[in-house]
Structure 1
Amino acid sequence: MNHDLAAEIHRRAEQDQAARCVAANTRDGREMCRIDAENTAWLKQVIAEHGWPGVALVGAQGAEEAWLLAQHADLAPTFQRQALELLKAAVAAGDASPRQLAYLTDRVLVAAGEPQVYGTQYTDDPDGSNLRLQPVADPDRLDERRAAMGLEPAADYDQRMRGH
């Protein structure tokens, strides 16, 4: 395991989350976008050097935090799609979580204007009101697909998203 790389991923994930708290509280996402861009450029370099930072390379926490950085690479959709392909291979090899794959799959699909598969992505109005699920393909089988990826039922997730 690469402990130095895991530590840097952790530092960047903490910055990511802090910037999201500021953006949520102030409705100003400029710092969040700056950190996302820096983290994306850094993660591209890590992937070029090491491949996908999965459990074997950076441990379970590092793998989770690397996924988080890829999940928030919205300003680089081509890279995000590349990360998705690498994550698929990592999940197939047992080196990453199916849950991570579900979230990144949905994120990439929604960014491309397509319906999501696992119902993980929500949107709201600019003032933070009107939280709603982004469109989902085949909603009648949503919970079946979610369960296959280790996700809770959609109704439970919806309640959690709404803070209930």
Structure 2
Amino acid sequence: MTRTKRHLLLFALFGMTSYPTWGSEYASELASELIAMAEADQQVRSTQPVDVAHVLSTDAAHSSRLSAIMAASGWPRVSVVGKPAADAAALLALHADRAPQVQRQALALMLPLLGSGEVDARKYAYLWDRTHSPQRYGTQGSCVGQRWYPDEIEEAPQVDSRRAAAGLGTLSEYVEAASEMCAPARAID
């Protein structure tokens, strides 16, 4: 039995909910897997025209795998898998819209890690807003004409203080940047 299989067996038998603290090949393999899944996530979204069925099937497979990873090992922490892999896990959770239980699982595991450097607070804010209405951070919205408007925000007067605590710029800055997506594409002369 390989070292990785032994570790996974120990996780299953003893219900371990955190990553091993020793330098393990499991963490390295997990990091590579998360990064590969995030790359596949972006690739299916960048093909033109977008194959919606392929995007949805990719998201379903990634959601299932991310759920299994979280159940076995907890949230992929920066200190264990590295920042690129931790960011990849957050992207996969964000795109798990058809598996809201996976998104809730991710939020629950990320919350106690906020402020520790183990999870990116900005990624948590985006996922929280994506899964709640009203939202807290003003990251979700839509274009109306050439202007982007955030969806309903709870306690809107405090949004900028919550955004600052999460490492996000002001809502007005975000609205300006997001509105650039709304403008029609300009032809290059």
TM-score by length of 1: 0.84
Structure 2, unaligned runs of 5 or more? 1-22, 182-189
Query: Which of these residues, 44, 50, 54, is aligned with residue 31 of structure 1?
Result: 54
**2:142 is equivalent to residue 119 of structure 1:** no
Query: 2:170 maps to which residue?
Result: 153
Query: Which of these residues, 21, 26, 30, is aligned with residue 5 of structure 1?
Result: 30
Structure 1, unaligned runs of 5 or more? none
Question: 2:67, 2:104 → 1: CA distance?
Answer: 12
Runs of 4+ off more than 4 Å: 128-131
By how many angstroms is 1:56 displaced?
Answer: 1.9
Query: 1:136 maps to which residue?
Result: 153
Pair member with larger Rg: 2
By how many angstroms is 1:20 displaced?
Answer: 2.2
Cα deviation code 1:28-81 (max 9, x no counterpart): 522211111010011011112211111022101111110110111110112211
By how many angstroms is 1:163 displaced?
Answer: 2.6
Secondary structure of 1:94 counterpart: coil
Quick one: structure 1 residues 77 and 91, their matched pair in 2 at CA, closer, same or farther if it must change by over 3 Å? Answer: same
Question: 1:156, 1:129 → 2: CA distance?
Answer: 16
**2:100 is equivalent to residue 100 of structure 1:** no
Cα deviation code 1:127-163 (max 9, x no counterpart): x987532211122221111011100111211222223
Identity among equivalent positions (%) equals 37
Matches within 5 A, 1:25-104: 25-26=48-49, 28-104=51-127
For the 8 Å contact 2:70–2:76, the answer to whether it is kept is yes
Question: 1:61, 1:35 → 2: CA distance?
Answer: 20
Question: 1:55, 1:83 → 2: CA distance?
Answer: 14
* Count of residues paired in the alignment: 156
What is the root-mean-square deviation of aligned Cα atoms in Å? 2.2
TM-score by length of 2: 0.74
Quick one: structure 1 residues 156 and 131, their matched pair in 2 at CA, closer, same or farther if it must change by over 3 Å? Answer: closer
